[in-house]
C-alpha cells in the first residue's frame, strides 16, 4: 500500500496528491477495535477501543486514555536478510502485552526519512535460522480452598508468567519453550506447588528441563524435571511457595513489610521439534497442587486449574465442581442464581493486576468482577482495570 500526501485535504480537496511527504510531517496509525459494528462471530460486546501511535490517543471504550503503551514502533535491521524496515505493532482491547494483535512493516524512500524512533538491530552472532516469539504473558491468581470458595481473595498463589517459543524459521517447528515466572504472593497456610501441563505434548517428547530454581524442595513433585509416570508432559516450576518466598503463611498479601521476589526461568527442550499448535497458549495448562501443612505428607490428588481446563491424570475431581450440563467443564461453579454464578478458582490476567488483600473477597473488591464471571466472560472484559475498592487492594 502506498501512502499519499494531500496538501489541500483540510480544504476538502485531493488536488495535488503526491507520494512525497514534506519534511517535518508526522504519520500516525490507529487500531480501532470493533470499530464499525459487531462483525466478529460470537462477539456480542460493543467495545470500541483505540490504540494509536500518537501520544494520548489510545483510549478505552469509555474514552479514557490508557496509562500504559498500546503500540510499539521501531526500526528493525538485519543485514543477512537485507531488512531495514519500520515495524508498527498494536494491542487491541485485551492487555496481554505481546503487541502482536496487528503488526505491519513500513519502508520509506530514502530509508532514513523516518526519524525519532528506536532501532532494534540484529544480535551479533545470532542464529538467523531460529526465531523466538513470546506466546503468553499474564498473572495467574489462585484460590486454594477448592471445592469450597473459602475467603475468595484469589491471592493464595500469584505468579507472573510469560512463555517464549523458539522455532525454526523454515519449518516453523518448535525446539524449545522458555517459561519465565515470578512468584509474587502466597496468601495461604497450605503448601502449594505450581506446574504447567503441555496438553498436546507427550512426556516422551521432552528431552530435558533446566531451571534457575535451585531451591526446589520436598513436595507434591519428585523433582523439577518432567513428572514421572505422566502420559502428557507435566513441568513443575516449584514445589511450595515457601521454598521461593521463605517460611510464612500470608506473604505479600497484607499491609506491611514486602518480601522481595525473584524472577526464574524453566526451559523445556524437545527431543524432536514439535508443531507450533502443540505449544500455543491454549495448550499450556497451568495449575497448583494443594497440600495441607499439618498433614506432614504430600499427595498429587488436589489440583486447581483455570476454569474449564482438564486436570492431570493424577488428580481426584469432586463431583460438584463442574456444570451438570457439561461434565467436562471443570473448576467452575454452577452457582445459585445470585452471587456465585460461574465462579472459578483460578484467573489469568493479561497484563497488570492488583490482587486483593488477605481475606478480601474479589467480588467485593472489583465492581464488575461478578458481572464478568456471570456472563461467562462476555461482559466487562476489562473488569480488572475498572472500578475497585482501593483500600482492599494490595
Q: Cell 460438584 appears where?
A: 320
**Range 26-34 average pLDDT:** 85
pLDDT of 6: 92
Which residues, 6+ apart, have CB-to-CB distance to 268 below 8 Å? 176, 177, 178, 179, 198, 206, 208, 209, 233, 235
pLDDT bracket for residue 328 (50, 70, 90): very low
Residues 184, 48: Cα–Cα separation, whole Å: 33
Which residues, 6+ apart, have CB-to-CB distance to 36 below 8 Å? none
| Lowest pLDDT segment from 12-16, 52-56, 210-214 | 52-56
pLDDT value at 231 more than 90: yes
Which residues, 6+ apart, have CB-to-CB distance to 219 below 8 Å? 191, 193, 239, 240, 243, 289, 291, 298
Which DSSP letter does residue 205 get?
G
Written as nine digits, the cell of 331 is: 473448576
DSSP result, 113-161:
GS-SS-EEEPPTT--TTEEEEEEEEEEEEE--STTS-TT--S-SEEEEE
| Lowest pLDDT segment from 73-82, 165-174, 222-231, 287-296 | 73-82
DSSP result, 305-321:
ESTTPPP-TT----TTS
pLDDT of 74: 85
| Residue among 164, 165, 156 at smallest CA distance from 194 | 156
Q: Cell 518432567 appears where?
A: 226
Residues 28, 54: Cα–Cα separation, whole Å: 6
| Residue among 249, 140, 132 at smallest CA distance from 195 | 140
Which residues, 6+ apart, have CB-to-CB distance to 356 below 8 Å? 153, 154, 155, 362, 365, 392, 393, 394
pLDDT of 80: 61
Which residues, 6+ apart, have CB-to-CB distance to 390 below 8 Å? none
Written as nine digits, the cell of 157 is: 498463589
Query: Model-level pTM?
Result: 0.73
pLDDT of 44: 53
Written as nine digits, the cell of 365 is: 473488591
Residues 250, 185: Cα–Cα separation, whole Å: 8
pLDDT of 183: 98
pLDDT value at 76 more than 90: no
DSSP result, 329-351:
--SB----SSS-TT-BSEEEESS
pLDDT value at 71 more than 80: yes
164/317: higher pLDDT: 164
Which DSSP letter does residue 26 get?
-
What's the pLDDT tens digit per position in 98-110?
788 899 888 887 7
pLDDT of 324: 47
146/287: higher pLDDT: 287
Which DSSP letter does residue 202 get?
E
Q: Tell me what the pLDDT averaged over the chain comes to.
A: 86
**Range 367-376 average pLDDT:** 89
**Range 208-232 average pLDDT:** 96
| Residue among 191, 164, 196, 237 at smallest CA distance from 348 | 196
pLDDT of 321: 47
User: Which secondary structure element, helix H or strand E, spans residue 244, and what is its range?
Assistant: helix 241-245
Sign of the Cα torsion 34, 39, 44, 46 reads: positive
pLDDT bracket for residue 312 (50, 70, 90): very high
Q: Cell 456471570 appears where?
A: 374
pLDDT bracket for residue 42 (50, 70, 90): low
* 128 contacts 169 by C-beta, under 8 angstroms: yes
pLDDT bracket for residue 320 (50, 70, 90): very low
* 335 contacts 343 by C-beta, under 8 angstroms: yes
Q: Cell 522481595 appears where?
A: 260
pLDDT value at 35 more than 70: no
pLDDT value at 286 more than 60: yes
Cα dist from 340 to 27, 135, 345, 373, whole Å: 49, 32, 12, 9
* 152 contacts 363 by C-beta, under 8 angstroms: yes
SS3 content of the chain, % helix, strand, coil (to 5): 10, 35, 55
pLDDT value at 349 more than 90: yes
**Range 330-348 average pLDDT:** 78
pLDDT bracket for residue 355 (50, 70, 90): very high
376/190: higher pLDDT: 190
pLDDT value at 340 more than 70: no
pLDDT of 287: 98
Q: Which of 79-93, 123-137, 236-250 has the highest mean pLDDT?
A: 236-250
pLDDT bracket for residue 203 (50, 70, 90): very high
Amino acid at each position: 500500500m502506498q501512502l499519499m500526501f494531500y496538501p489541500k485535504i483540510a480544504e476538502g480537496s485531493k488536488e495535488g496528491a503526491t507520494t512525497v511527504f514534506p519534511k517535518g510531517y508526522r504519520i500516525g496509525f490507529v487500531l480501532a477495535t470493533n470499530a464499525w459494528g459487531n462483525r466478529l462471530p460470537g462477539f456480542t460486546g460493543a467495545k470500541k477501543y483505540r490504540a494509536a501511535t500518537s501520544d494520548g490517543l489510545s483510549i478505552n471504550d469509555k474514552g479514557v486514555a490508557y496509562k500504559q503503551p498500546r503500540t510499539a514502533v521501531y526500526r528493525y535491521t538485519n543485514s543477512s536478510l537485507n531488512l531495514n524496515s519500520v515495524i508498527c505493532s498494536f494491542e487491541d482491547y485485551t492487555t496481554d502485552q505481546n503487541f502482536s494483535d496487528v503488526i505491519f512493516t513500513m519502508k520509506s524512500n530514502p530509508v532514513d526519512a523516518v526519524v525519532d524512533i528506536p532501532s532494534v538491530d540484529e544480535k551479533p552472532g545470532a542464529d538467523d535460522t531460529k526465531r523466538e516469539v513470546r506466546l503468553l504473558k499474564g498473572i495467574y491468581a489462585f484460590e486454594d480452598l477448592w471445592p469450597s470458595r473459602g475467603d475468595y481473595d484469589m491471592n493464595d498463589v500469584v505468579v507472573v508468567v510469560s512463555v517464549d517459543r523458539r522455532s525454526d524459521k523454515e519449518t516453523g517447528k518448535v525446539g524449545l519453550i522458555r517459561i519465565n515466572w515470578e512468584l509474587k504472593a502466597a496468601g495461604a497456610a497450605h503448601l502449594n506447588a505450581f506446574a504447567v501441563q503441555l496438553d498436546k505434548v507427550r512426556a516422551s517428547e521432552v528431552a530435558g528441563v533446566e531451571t534457575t530454581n535451585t531451591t526446589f524442595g520436598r513436595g507434591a513433585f519428585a523433582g523439577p524435571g518432567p513428572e514421572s509416570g505422566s502420559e502428557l508432559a507435566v513441568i513443575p516450576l516449584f514445589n511450595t511457595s515457601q521454598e521461593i518466598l521463605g517460611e510464612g503463611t500470608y506473604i505479600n498479601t497484607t499491609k506491611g513489610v514486602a518480601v522481595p521476589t525473584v524472577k526464574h526461568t524453566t526451559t523445556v527442550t524437545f527431543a524432536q521439534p514439535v508443531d507450533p499448535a502443540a505449544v500455543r497458549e491454549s495448550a499450556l495448562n497451568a495449575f497448583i497442587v494443594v497440600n495441607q501443612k499439618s498433614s506432614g505428607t504430600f499427595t498429587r490428588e488436589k489440583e486447581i486449574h483455570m476454569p474449564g481446563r482438564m486436570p492431570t491424570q493424577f488428580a481426584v475431581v469432586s463431583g460438584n465442581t463442574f456444570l451438570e450440563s457439561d461434565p467436562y467443564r471443570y473448576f467452575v461453579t454452577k452457582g445459585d442464581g445470585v452471587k456465585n454464578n460461574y465462579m472459578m478458582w483460578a484467573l489469568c490476567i493479561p497484563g497488570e493486576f492488583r490482587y486483593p488483600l488477605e481475606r478480601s473477597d474479589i467480588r467485593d473488591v472489583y465492581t464488575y468482577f461478578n458481572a464478568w464471571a456471570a456472563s461467562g466472560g462476555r461482559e466487562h472484559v476489562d473488569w480488572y482495570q475498572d472500578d475497585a475498592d482501593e483500600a482492599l487492594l494490595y
